[in-house]
Amino acid sequence: MRRPVTVAAMGADVAERLITGEVRERLHRVADVRAVVDDFAGVDLSRTEVLFTSWSCPPVTAEVLARAPELRAVVHAAGSVKHHVTDACWERGIAVSSAAAANAQPVAEFTLAAILFANKRVVDIARAYRAARANDDWDARYPGFGNYRRTVGVVGASRIGRRVIELLRPFDVEVLVSDPYLDDDLGVRRVGLDELVAASDVVTLHAPDLPETRHLMDAGRLAAMRDGATLINTARAALVDQEALTRELAAGRLFAVLDHTEPEFLPPGSPLYDLPNVLVTPHIAGSLGGELVRMADLALDELSRYARGLPFEHPVERGSLSRSA
């Protein structure tokens, strides 16, 4: 197997966490790695055939491409390629692969845990129990709590949304899905977004951040959610009217699990920190820690396929970017 000349391009802190130990050894086995950089300025790209990228990769602009006449592929060891694969790359015919499928797994796992904990009221009961340091009548306090025959609404049949649906199959819940682009049968009931919002005990968001999805969960749809329902957002903050959601949460009518907020890391004075019916996490649902290796492994598989003259198993098509993360 030939070893294509490769430059790894990503943030220095990302490289430190991603390209370690076994990953580094395998990378050098499948590719002739000339440099690991966080900026293309001053880097000799004249013989580079592949860019092995991850988060904080600088944009691969027309100027960069002019210095890389032999570049044929970008293999991304992370999710979205929108931040660095430019129009110039597509116009040049650069083949692009992404590890979005690997990054979808921990987000789906986080979401599954959030759904099961939300319906069981685990976080709320634990907080109340810690405060009271005594037992209570939890059935009276949370009537009907539990997961049996609950309805879960999945907004967006993305990689993550589909994986969430798969992970929910062993449980006794009804799953609804809403996605205007869905054209295949996922084995669950497809409904309109307004019907899903009104019928679900948990609404979990997995749609991309696009102009048409901004405030998809607006004040009207939040008001249409069932009393005591839970909104889970592991997608993007822009999908939710956060001010309207905060009002609903402050009124105590809804619950929420928010891994994405606006701003990304809330200021100290945000009421979302203190509301008892909200679990806020600092954007941790995606690949972190040991989960980074899963993304690296998928990307290295793709690099190996390229080196053997095989097509990517996880290609990114330019046309799909208008409706993906």
Cα–Cα distance between 64 and 89 in angstroms, integer? Answer: 10
pLDDT of residue 93: 97
Verify whether residue 260 is a known catalytic residue.
Answer: no
- Which one of the listed residues 169, 264, 308, 318 is annotated catalytic? 264
* Per-residue model confidence (pLDDT) at position 325: 65
How confident is the model over 65-92, as a mean pLDDT?
A: 97
Given a cut of 80, whether residue 324 has pLDDT beyond it is: no
Name the pTM for this structure.
Answer: 0.94
State what percent of residues in the chain have pLDDT above 90.
Answer: 96
Residue 236: active-site member: yes
Q: Helices in the chain by DSSP H: which ranges?
A: 12-18, 21-30, 62-66, 87-92, 100-120, 122-132, 138-141, 159-168, 193-199, 219-224, 242-250, 292-307
**Tens digit of pLDDT for each residue in 223-261?**
999 999 999 999 999 999 999 999 999 999 999 999 999
Residue 105 CB coordination number (10 Å): 19
pLDDT of amino acid 90: 97
248-252 long-range contacts (CB < 8 A, ≥24 apart) are 248/222, 248/223, 249/275, 249/277, 249/278, 250/275, 252/277
Other Cβ atoms closer than 10 A to 283: 14
For range 189-196, the mean pLDDT: 98
Predicted confidence (pLDDT) per residue in 137-161, tens digit: 999 999 999 999 999 999 999 999 9
Cβ distance 95 to 310 under 8 Å? no
From the candidates 150, 159, 162, 236, give the one annotated as an active-site residue. Answer: 236
Residue 195 known to be catalytic: no
Give the active site residue among 3, 26, 253, 283: 283
Mean pLDDT of the chain: 96
Whether pLDDT at 191 is above 80: yes
